[in-house]
A and B are shown apart, each in its own frame.
Chain A
Amino acid sequence: AQKITQTQPGMFVQEKEAVTLDCTYDTSDQSYGLFWYKQPSSGEMIFLIYQGSYDEQNATEGRYSLNFQKARKSANLVISASQLGDSAMYFCAMRENFSGGYNKLIFGAGTRLAVHP
């Protein structure tokens, strides 16, 4: 069965510094997708970044980048130049595929990030 592991229940970082949130995954599929979502205290789930298993380049979206190491089955999120508004829960997720093009997301337990001024 597919599994996502986030080993850091909580992290803190100083404003303007970079932080890495860890995510490892387990799958026997050759084709899969990895996602990061942000959940601020207001509760909504905000899509941040996506990495496909066949993508050779690491994904980047503004201050977010995904450090994808396929052999190690890790997909760590790097946030550069942290801002106070980055304080939130961060979830790593993997797409589990079904026949017919359908899928569901398997989520990790999340990491709570606190950005200190």
Chain B
Amino acid sequence: DTAVSQTPKYLVTQMGNDKSIKCEQNLGHDTMYWYKQDSKKFLKIMFSYNNKELIINETVPNRFSPKSPDKAHLNLHINSLELGDSAVYFCASSPQFPEAGALSDTQYFGPGTRLTVL
């Protein structure tokens, strides 16, 4: 069973285009995240949503717009793509309030989407 899934896995596009990445989790978690991993492998949070509500927006350009139609889905839409947007984008999810005995509010990651802007 796939816990956190992302589509597509690879995305190659031209500068200036608009593209979307989809994320779905079947873990019943309340909170979902988008992280960006740059070419040096550095990971940084972009957004966090809790029950469809934006919680964290880490000074990401407004060309990036997350959308959460329900708490199991968090999509990322990127307008006017630039060369510097090339990266791997990871979706993750976690429970807001872990159940007693659970392994904290561990974030589980999707497989990543490698975006290449030409």
Q: Using CB atoms, name the residue of chain A closest to B90.
A: A45
Among A39, A50, A98, A107, contact of B106 (Cβ-Cβ < 8 Å)? A50
How many interface residues does chain A have, given as a range? 20 to 34
What is the bound-complex CA distance between A93 and B94, given in angstroms? 15
What is the bound-complex CA distance between A50 and B107, given in angstroms? 11
Q: Do B111 and A44 have beta carbons less than 8 Å apart? A: yes
Quick check: is A43 within 8 A (CB to CB) of the other chain?
yes
Q: Using CB atoms, name the residue of chain B closest to A46.
A: B109
What is the bound-complex CA distance between A37 and B50, given in angstroms? 23
Q: Do A98 and B45 have beta carbons less than 8 Å apart? A: no
Contact A102/B33 with A44-B109, A95-B105 known, Cβ cut-off 8 Å? no
B residues near A35, Cβ cutoff 8 Å: 106-107
What is the bound-complex CA distance between A102 and B114, given in angstroms? 27
B residues near A52, Cβ cutoff 8 Å: 104
Quick check: is A105 within 8 A (CB to CB) of the other chain?
yes
Contact A43/B106 with A89-B41, A91-B43, A98-B55 known, Cβ cut-off 8 Å? no
B27-61 at interface with A (beta carbon < 8 Å): 31, 33, 35, 40-45, 48, 50, 55-56, 58
Residues of A within 8 A of B (CB): 33, 35, 37, 39, 43-47, 50, 52, 89, 91, 93, 95, 98, 100-105, 107, 109-110
A-B CB contact pairs (8 Å), 6 listed: A35-B106, A45-B112, A47-B106, A93-B43, A102-B31, A104-B48
Residues of B within 8 A of A (CB): 31, 33, 35, 40-45, 48, 50, 55-56, 58, 88, 90, 92, 94, 96-97, 103-112, 114
